[in-house]
Amino acid sequence: MSTRAIVKYVLSGDTVVVRPKEVPAKGTAAKERVLHIAGISAPRLGSSTREDEPYSFSAREYLRALLVGKEVAFTVTHSLSSNGPGQDREFVSLLIAPAGPGLPPQEVAALVLAQGWAKMRDGVGEGDEAVRRLGAEEAKKRESLRVIEQQAKAEGKGIWAEQPESQRTVSFQMPADPHTFVAENKDRDIDAIVEQVRDGTQLRVRLLLDEENHQFINLALAGAKSPRASFGRDGDVSLSEPWGEEAKFFTEVRMLQRAIKVQLLSAPVTLGASPFQTGPTPAAANKPAATANGLPAPTVGGASVIIGIAKHPNGNIAEFLCAAGLAKVIDWHAGLLAPHGGLDRIRAAEKVAKDKRLGLWENLGATKASASNGLAPVAQTTKGQQFDATVVRVWGSDQISVVAKGDESGKERRLQFASVRGPRGTDAKQTYWANEAKEFLRKRLIGKTVQVHIDYIKPREGDYEERECVTIHYGNQNNNIAEQLIEKGLATVLRHKRDDEDRSLELDKLIIAEQTAVAETRGLHSTKDVSLPRIVDASESGSRASQYLPSWKRAGKHAAVVDFVSAGSRFKVFMPKENTKITFVLAGIRAPRTARSANEKSEPFGPESLKFASKYMQRDVEIAFDSTDKSGGFIGTMYAPGGVNVAVELVREGLASVHSYSAETLPFGRDLNAAEEEAKKAKKNIWSTYSEEDTTATQTVDESAALAPDYLDVYVSSVKDSDPFGFSVQILEKDSVASLEKLMSNFSLHHRQASSAAPAGFSPKTGELVSAKFSEDNQYRAKVKRSSAIKKEAVLYFIDYGNEETLPFSRIRPLDSKFKSLAGQAKEARLSFVKLVPRSSEYGGEAFRRFNYLTEGRKLIANVDQKEGNLLHLRLIDPADPNAADDPLACLNADLVREGLATIDKSCRYINSYPQVLRKLQDATEGAKRDRLGIFEFGDVSED
């Protein structure tokens, strides 16, 4: 009686492994049987201890392509006792499906012999001897097989070929230098055969590099990880993790001994010991020579696995595993997969499995429910989230605080760099490099917009709060700040446990950066002695402060860094050039006091004043000294980047009041008083309940005053291509649009008639309305600005669109009176408050192109901020801009300033009548300077 089974894989040209047709029970491995095809013998494949016999791989490949994954029927003819503890060796008659309808099943032995990939086994004799040993039916079958063998031999097929097979080189061990091997074969689809499945996402693969060279590797699938499974045919499933056996079976059914394409991405690097480790490790004696801090010299060997993509003809197997709930996404592989489309598809597949509660996610809903019922705390998972943020504080060498863009509450989020460990400890070397790392981060990140990717959430542990661990990119080059930090030797890569999949998005880059730092003995890895600088506290006492004041006051402005903000007008400041720290108090103002302990109570708006002043935390500032107080504090002026007077800004926001007596002696006393009046009128913060007598009687009408809001729908119809910058708009009022459309329609019909042709010798006069054919398309209404009878050409202004062109008389004709009644629709305009950089300047062309891009073909909203004769001063707003919905001051004018392509036009007399808009433009200017955009690319050119 024959048994049916599925061929799992082929060991050689005469031996296969089969499994039952049924899917194994949950948590169990499929039972396997090794079957030897009776009567034939194929060449043996090699191993790590012996080479392939000639034709062995070709013979195996023939049988592999013929049988793997197919259903077969077999009958055991005889068995032999195994020499070892394993099962007896079973010899079978193996059949596969018929070659066509109505035909009998095919004998596998006959097919192999016919192709010349095996020979008949000797030892059973012939004739009566064979009948006696095998039985009449089996002896007859063997005789027919011998005929087939003789035919293949006569035809020189397979092993009987006249020319011997060229010997190929097969490397069964991992490459000696996996990293070089990966580099040499990166971005290449390599033909391969899966020889073994360790678990759902770990494969043993034969790479077919070329006809002569095969290389075995251990391949880990990029982007996904399955649970652990039993290993080997007799593996102990008790060692398996839940769903591990199912994941392994899933991959085996689809991949084992299938021809695939492999793309190599990375070979994990051995990190070595931590430089912060104290004392030798047990294996220290066997490690290679180490650098001074105990970290071994970089090595390229040692990788036992290569990470890559296995491409089945139907797609990436990692996606299918995740979609079936048999693997989880490995987020830290995102950096490896980014050039190949990223993790998006794999994440989407995982989400499908989660939604359907498949496999690993079968209890996902129950877990959430129990947590919400109070049985377990629920962390708000933000893993994989990406957002833009502004860096507001650097805590140390591996932690920063940011405020997410669009977060109206301004809540700070404290973030930890993923897979990074900054210098720790109290010894001089660690402290020195910790300070260097903090300063490195401060200079590059404070106040800057960065891109944040949350790699994993570090749970609360003891006194340590839960922390979001992130990868931070910044700048136009999209630099990874952690990579730069490590490459300079200012931090090291965190040593993760083998099964810890919570790692940095770009862990490979961090490891390479550390190897570079170690090899070049940078920072922590250097052998040079370092010592902490001696920092003097000049505010230690009033007498000490008075010693420094005279010389510092004479020197004018000093570069400084705000180290801490105690209150709205009180700061701790470090002066790097002088190696001195001081307490600094803003002159001329008084800010509300904030509570210094739980027993104290803040004055009204004290916390708000402190919060506003805290935006200068860790910023580079300039300070000028005026006097000292009794406690050793220095009183003076602080200038933020761009020359912004911090005291004036606090007063303008209503978060400090002017101290009249001291303000009178200050050169910016007027500015303080004006800012306070502005805050009072706006009833900002401390002035929210302020009231004053009606002063309207004393006010005079100023022609530079702000106009009432006047919003219009407009279309920019033309842009001047010369300085000073200007443009024309059409006001899209319902009646005017309909009138213009009707006029242009009639205009077009009129000019198709022969009677509309220009009379002979027509010469247009300056100021005359005419009809002219614009060079690019149709006939339009125009006004003659200048006319030359000698050149027979005229300079025309197209009154409905605002553009100008010089045309020959031949393209100009008189304008029929019926087309003169509608006034010209083009209105001359300029940008309110700002001026584009001159077209003749280095950034002029870019500025004009950017304005065209922002306005061309778009329906815009314009507010008329001022009128200068017929010239409209417009603030342009794009209704499609999402910022416009939330920010009433959002406008293209400010956008161009923020990009460094326009500047505030101080010649506009009405500018101070729009204080909120002015502050918006000032902030935009500061942002452009800070990010080195446009004209500020090489520094602050505002003084120029």
**Beta strand ranges found along 430-557 (DSSP E):** 449-458, 467-474, 479-480, 492-493, 536-537
pLDDT computed for residue 704 by the predictor: 67
In this structure, the dihedral spanned by the alpha carbons of residues 908, 909, 915 and 916, taken in order and rounded to 10 degrees, is -40
* Cross-strand bridge partners of residue 834: 904
- Tell me if 620 is assigned to some domain: yes
b/e sequence 587-625, b meaning 16+ C-beta within 10 Å: bbbebbbbeeeeeeebeebbebbbebbbbbbbbbbebbb
Domain boundary among 525, 558, 587: 525
φ, ψ (nearest 5 deg) of residue 149: -65, -45
Is pLDDT at 324 greater than 60 in this prediction?
A: yes
- Tell me if 261 is assigned to some domain: yes
- Tell me if 684 is assigned to some domain: yes
39 and 126 within one domain: yes
Kindly state the average pLDDT of the residues 225-233. 81
Residues 735-785: pLDDT tens digits?
776 777 777 777 777 766 655 677 788 889 888 899 988 877 778 889 998
Print the domain residue range for 57. Answer: 3-160
892 and 817 within one domain: yes
Residues 129-182: pLDDT tens digits?
655 666 667 777 878 888 999 999 999 999 999 888 888 899 999 998 898 899
Which helix (H) or strand (E) segment is 892 a member of? helix 892-898
**Average model confidence (pLDDT) for the chain?**
85
Which amino acid, one-letter code, is at 641? P
- Tell me if 378 is assigned to some domain: no
Residue in the structure block whose two tokens are 């709930």: 325
Residues 85-142: pLDDT tens digits?
567 889 999 999 998 888 999 999 999 999 999 998 876 555 566 556 666 677 778 7
562 and 521 within one domain: no
Range from 160-164, 172-176, 230-234, 636-640 carrying the lowest mean pLDDT:
230-234
584 and 546 within one domain: yes
Residue in the structure block whose two tokens are 């940008």: 831
Number of domains comprising the chain: 5
Which amino acid, one-letter code, is at 631? S
- Tell me if 298 is assigned to some domain: no
- Tell me if 281 is assigned to some domain: no
Q: What percent of the chain has pLDDT over 70?
A: 88
Q: Which of 260, 265, 262 is nearest to 312 (CA)?
A: 260
895 and 822 within one domain: yes
- CATH number, residue 820: 2.30.30.140
Residues 873-893: pLDDT tens digits?
999 999 888 787 778 889 999
Dist. CA 360–CA 562, nearest whole Å: 51
121 and 96 within one domain: yes
549 and 461 within one domain: no
- CATH number, residue 263: 2.40.50.90
Six-digit token string for 125: 């004799």
CB-based contacts of 226, cutoff 8 Å, min separation 6: 199, 200, 201, 202, 243, 244, 247, 248, 251, 321, 326, 327
608 and 496 within one domain: no
Is pLDDT at 296 greater than 70 in this prediction?
A: no
CA distances from 24 to 32, 71, 380, 404, 783 (A): 11, 16, 38, 50, 89
Q: How confident is the model at residue 283 (pLDDT cuts 50, 70, 90)?
A: very low
776 and 638 within one domain: no
722 and 671 within one domain: no
184 and 155 within one domain: no
556 and 493 within one domain: no
More confident residue, 239 or 307: 307
Domain boundary among 525, 557, 576: 525
Is pLDDT at 287 greater than 70 in this prediction?
A: no
DSSP reduced 3-state for 556: coil
Domain boundary among 666, 694, 722: 694
pLDDT computed for residue 77 by the predictor: 85
- Tell me if 293 is assigned to some domain: no
Six-digit token string for 406: 């669009």
- Tell me if 205 is assigned to some domain: yes
**pTM, rounded to two decimals:** 0.52
Residue 305 per-residue DSSP state: -
pLDDT computed for residue 284 by the predictor: 37
